[in-house]
Chains A and B, each alone.
Chain A
Amino acid sequence: AQETGLHDEL
């Protein structure tokens, strides 16, 4: 698994 760091959640 990789860390998202993508803030696509609210």
Chain B
Amino acid sequence: MNLFRFFGDMSHLASILILLYKIHATRSVRGLSFKTQALYVTVFVARYLDVFTEFVSVYNTLMKIFFISSSCFVLYLMKGRYRPTNDPSIDTFRVEYLLGPCALLALIFHYRWSFLEVLWSFSIFLESVAILPQLFMLQRTGEAETITTHYLAALGAYRALYIPNWIYRYWSEDVIDPIAVTAGIVQTALYLDFFYVYFTKVLQGQKFELPA
């Protein structure tokens, strides 16, 4: 564990707390993509099934349980308690275009040919693009509540912090995880456009609005 990874994980944790706070404070899931949240549940379940078979650390186990349960809870909030505030008509990204290619990539690129390992690869590839329905929705509506942009910024920061973590591990431990690194760089790149608007508008006290 190094500081980049630790702060990355904390940023990930914070993003979920911000998301739950947004839903609670506005009593609404408006502006959130159900598809993205459902993809995150898929990602966490696919990757963290090993919580039953592998033990890394107490920290690792607790985080896995937190990510699986909190992402499922968000789905419940979107489809249960706050269902009336969810608008599926603007959440139109076709997730099958993500699931299919990620499944194919996982069948081609993995470290071992076993069910859990292929599932692990699938979750890595899927996580890298899981934010797309949300970004697509943002693009479509052209605006976002400030609190929602803080959620996205924390999520993006988590991914960005993993990159120096890999560089650090490369020279301190001499290890490299090509699948995670490749997917992680793609994932971080997807946030660049969002970050540009976040830094130039939201952090200057303006509303998140995209030029028409």
Residues on A lying within 8 angstroms of B by beta carbon are 1-10
Contact = CB atoms under 8 A, between A and B. Distances in A.
Contact of A10 (B12, B112, B170, B174): B12
B191 interface: no
Given A3-B175, A3-B177, A8 B112 contact: no
A5 B60 CA distance: 16
Contact of B120 (A1, A2, A3, A7): A7
A4 B101 CA distance: 24
Contacts, number: 37
Determine chain A's interface SS by DSSP, over half rule: loop
A2 B63 CA distance: 26
Contacts of B12: 10
Nearest to B50: A7
Given A1-B170, A3-B111, A8 B176 contact: no
A7 B54 contact: yes
A3 to B, nearest CB: 6
A6 B64 CA distance: 16
Given A3-B177, A6-B175, 4 more contacts: A2-B174, A2-B176, A3-B176, A4-B176
A10 B175 contact: no
B209 interface: no
A9 B12 CA distance: 13
B180 A9 contact: yes
B25 interface: no
B56 interface: yes
B54 A1 contact: no
15 contacts: A1-B170, A1-B175, A2-B176, A3-B176, A4-B175, A4-B177, A5-B112, A5-B177, A7-B120, A8-B56, A8-B60, A9-B5, A9-B165, A9-B177, A10-B12
Contacts of B165: 9
A4 B67 CA distance: 23
B9 interface: yes
A5 B181 CA distance: 12
